[in-house]
Structure 1
Amino acid sequence: MVDRTAPSVRTSEPVPPWLEAIWQRLLDAHRHARLGQALLFSGPLGIGKRILAEHLAGMLLCVAPQADGRACGACADCRLLEAGNHPDRLLLEPAADAASGEIRAEQVRQLCARETLTPMRGSTKVLIIRPADAMNLFAANSLLKTLEEPADSTVWVLVTEHPQRLSQTIRSRCQQISMISPQLEQALPWLETRLETRLEPSAARQGSAGAKAPSGTRADAAAALPAQRAAHCLALAQGAPFRALALAETGALEQRRDLLDDLIGIAQGERDPLGVAHEWQRLELSAALAAMIDALIDSLRLGIDPAGARIIHLGARQALAALAGQIEAAAGHRFLRLLLQTRSAIDAPMNQQILFEALLVRWARLTRASA
């Protein structure tokens, strides 16, 4: 749908540290009139592509941007942006009622029709499509016609995790901005800072008393919580900071710990795989598959590197190391391939109960083979 939904991003705030170099390139291009009329932001989930797109919209629509290009946050245009009511910033996403999750040709044609109109407030319109790879073939062809001769007043921003799914012709019409997951030394302090402000009240109160409490007490544990939580979430999110932040805020980290406990319990013979399969019925299939895949990958990695420099479940190193000695490598990789194939077909109709039973029974056989 085409709308002016509030971006939920304060574009007057600094961009995340790992995006500063890209932001500076965009700023320099804008100041020297070299900014393309169509930009393609690509990269993994949760690294800030949407954030960067909204900051760019703020820079282009704000009437008094700051010295570093960020929106001022105070002018009428910035207030309209923050409220989601700016007439020159339009967002196109899959329709809420689209079961396929596609962006349809009709939606793109509606947006392209607006592209030809004169900006209502300033000299520029910003049109954002995300995820751009959700456009079906007809929608992509409709957009291509516009990208070949875009209006001078328009900047298109296409956001995607899968640029290869876009046609080569569309990609060639765009100035491509590729992003990668940030380095740990950039992402971890940023995530810790945000999690510190989201501590549960009880943990925060305990942490505030840490100066008077002896070392090793619960207060110390509470004070260390943000750093530990940030590291665990970042590992689970494969180094993607915004995905890690979402994991922490939605309780997904606690759910993952519960799932891992179930898997370890099955491996140790303490849990019945069929009973666990029944309990997992309330879960999203994607969450359960991700837990199994990550636990198996960690175990296989620990079988090769006991130090576990790259494992995902940092808090379960000891239990997973014990599993590593019980898993035969070739059988483990065959099961991993099956899990990955199952995840790739996640949208296909399937009986979730039977699937969980089959996978967890196989997990039990795999992890108990040498016990």
Structure 2
Amino acid sequence: MNAMPWHAEHWSRLQSRRARDAMPHALLLCGPQGLGKREFMHRFAQGLLCTQAQDGEACGHCRSCQLFVAGTHPDFAVLSFGLRKDGVQRSEIVVDQIRELSARLSMSSQFGGWQIVCIDPADAMNAAAANALLKTLEEPSQQTLLMLVADAPWRLPQTIRSRCQRIEFHLPSREDALGWLQQAGVSDAAAALDAAGGNPGLARAWVDAGALARRQEVRKDLSALAAGRGEAMEVARRWLDSEPEQRLWFAAQAVADEVRSRAGTAAGPLSSSLDAEALDQWYMSANLTRESLRGPLRGDLLLLELLARWR
């Protein structure tokens, strides 16, 4: 993957701290999914462990780099979702995992340098795990670095956030985003970037997954329902079967376009009979439904209720 230009400022600042021997003991890499937080984390960690790094960039050839790329470096680990006793993957990071992490960091580095542990996604730690992490953050060992990666940092306790050096990734300028997408060979980069709300990493992933066609399908579904054609139940079933959260994102985008068109006195592309206030309420409901799909409620009923209100 070609370099992400919006990483340059964060990279330069961290390398400056490294040169002054003023590295923090904990970093919180946060921001929307798709901006390369995890690529940045791996790039920085490999450079920190490399024995022949130049300006923070790993050489790629030393034994440390070879082990890092193979995923077997003894001084680097990524903590993520573990397995339950029945073999099913957990949906949260639990306290036992954090205790194992703390025990690992209490030991000396096998290569005599840094020990680095990444928690990803850090915002998936449950309350007990977050509390257990506090002790490690409050009493860091020498040459240890904790890297917390979070798409939703507000889910982390303030006590955790306040003990980390925050590196926040923001959406780049449209010019930078389009340039990066074009260098990556993404077709119809402008349309993809619009679909992803200005997020270039998301735009690239969605193009690869055929999401632009799905976006058009969502708009056709909403137009058909607004005109009294089609069945809300059938549309809800189809959306639930294929990327429902992404479809709700596209649905909210389409309604926002409808509102903007009416503000310019043009007919809305969806031809909805809802007034401006009702469109605004439906937009908010679509976003709330997207969040609710991650919970215990039945997705088919959530989608059916939303689409029935649209029709």
TM-score by length of 2: 0.90
1:94 is aligned to 2:94: no
Aligned to 1:76: 63
Higher deviation after alignment, 143-152 or 158-167: 158-167
1:356 is aligned to 2:303: yes
Choose the corresponding residue for 1:22, options 7, 10, 15. Answer: 10
Unaligned runs of 5+ in 1: 1-12, 197-225, 308-319, 365-371
Equivalent residues, number:
308
**What are the Cα deviations for residues 327-348 of structure 1, in whole angstroms up to 9, with x where unaligned?**
4101111222322332232234
Offset of 1:252 from its aligned partner? 2.2
Counterpart-to-counterpart distance in 1, 2:135 and 2:51: 31
Counterpart amino acid of 1:337? M
Offset of 1:84 from its aligned partner? 1.2
Offset of 1:26 from its aligned partner? 0.7
Does structure 1 retain, via aligned residues, the 8 Å contact 2:223–2:271?
no
Aligned to 2:28: 40
Aligned to 2:258: 299
1:130 is aligned to 2:77: no
Over 3 Å counting, the alpha-carbon distance change for 1:132 and 1:294 in structure 2 is same
Offset of 1:287 from its aligned partner? 2.8
Larger Rg: 1
Counterpart-to-counterpart distance in 2, 1:150 and 1:106: 19
Structure number with higher relative contact order (C-alpha < 8 Å, ≥ 6 residues apart): 2
Aligned to 1:112: 102
Counterpart amino acid of 1:163? P
Counterpart-to-counterpart distance in 2, 1:188 and 1:195: 11
Does structure 2 retain, via aligned residues, the 8 Å contact 1:302–1:324?
no
Aligned to 2:289: 342
Over 3 Å counting, the alpha-carbon distance change for 1:53 and 1:305 in structure 2 is farther
Counterpart-to-counterpart distance in 2, 1:303 and 1:99: 47
Offset of 1:75 from its aligned partner? 1.6
Aligned to 1:235: 194
Counterpart-to-counterpart distance in 1, 2:97 and 2:74: 17
Counterpart-to-counterpart distance in 1, 2:160 and 2:300: 42
- 1:103 counterpart SS class: coil
Aligned to 2:141: 151
Counterpart amino acid of 2:106? T
Counterpart amino acid of 2:279? G
Over 3 Å counting, the alpha-carbon distance change for 1:124 and 1:171 in structure 2 is same
Over 3 Å counting, the alpha-carbon distance change for 1:339 and 1:155 in structure 2 is same
Does structure 2 retain, via aligned residues, the 8 Å contact 1:37–1:155?
yes
Does structure 2 retain, via aligned residues, the 8 Å contact 1:41–1:49?
yes
Counterpart-to-counterpart distance in 2, 1:122 and 1:28: 22
Over 3 Å counting, the alpha-carbon distance change for 1:103 and 1:331 in structure 2 is same
**What are the Cα deviations for residues 173-229 of structure 1, in whole angstroms up to 9, with x where unaligned?**
211212211111111111122135xxxxxxxxxxxxxxxxxxxxxxxxxxxxx2x2x
Counterpart-to-counterpart distance in 2, 1:104 and 1:325: 46
1:332 is aligned to 2:291: no
- 2:166 counterpart SS class: strand
Choose the corresponding residue for 1:257, options 212, 216, 238. Answer: 216
Choose the corresponding residue for 1:85, options 72, 88, 101. Answer: 72
Does structure 1 retain, via aligned residues, the 8 Å contact 2:195–2:250?
no
| Cα-Cα RMSD | 2.4
Over 3 Å counting, the alpha-carbon distance change for 1:275 and 1:90 in structure 2 is closer
TM-score by length of 1: 0.76
Over 3 Å counting, the alpha-carbon distance change for 1:348 and 1:133 in structure 2 is closer
Unaligned runs of 5+ in 2: none
